[in-house]
Amino acid sequence: MNKPHITAILAVTALSFSAGAMAIRMSKSEHKASEKRIEGEYKSALKSCDSFAHNARNICLAEAKRTEKIAKAELNAKYKPSSLATYEAGITRAKADYSVTYAKCNEGVGEVRDVCRQKAKTALAGAESDAMARLKAAKESSTDSNEHLRDI
């Protein structure tokens, strides 16, 4: 065998093990219990924000929402694993991080606030682009592995 075939076989083997690990899903009852836990933690975080005022409260609320949204997106990715679910979790994380950063930018004034907001938008665009690149790579990888299987 030549080197490309060995590499292809190793790649297919690695992908089959990772696909096997992804095939293990959580049960519906585990999913519901985790959702309730996340909601409880979110409500608790919201109550802790009551002690803050003005922008500090807004930042606290944004952080609580970020934590909840990311936890739910990751939970859904575990419950129904796929490259699309992983992509959606990445997008959710990027948007939630943006919301918190944007709230923090409001502490500044004038040009400082504007620069902060622009950096936040740039970071969001970069994170969205990274998530899309990972999704495309995962799709290409699964397509490539299927093609190698036909050759074997």
Domain boundaries, the chain: 27-151
pLDDT tens-digit map of 126-142: 999 999 999 998 888 87
Classified as helix, coil or strand, 19 is: helix
Instruction: Give the pLDDT of residue 146.
Output: 53
> Which residue is listed with tokens 């990888």?
141
Q: Are 92 and 123 in contact (CB under 8 A)?
A: no
- One-letter amino acid of 26: M
Q: 144 vs 66, which has greater pLDDT?
A: 66
Instruction: Give the pLDDT of residue 3.
Output: 46
Number of Cα atoms under 13 Å in the Cβ half of residue 113:
8
Q: Which tokens in the block code for residue 27?
A: 């049960």
pLDDT tens-digit map of 91-123: 999 999 999 999 999 988 899 999 999 999 999
Instruction: Give the pLDDT of residue 139.
Output: 85
Instruction: Give the pLDDT of residue 25.
Output: 75
Stated length of the chain: 152
- For the chain, give the mean pLDDT: 82
Whether residue 22 is predicted with pLDDT greater than 50 in this model: the reply is no
Residues 148 and 15: their CA atoms lie apart, in Å, by: 11
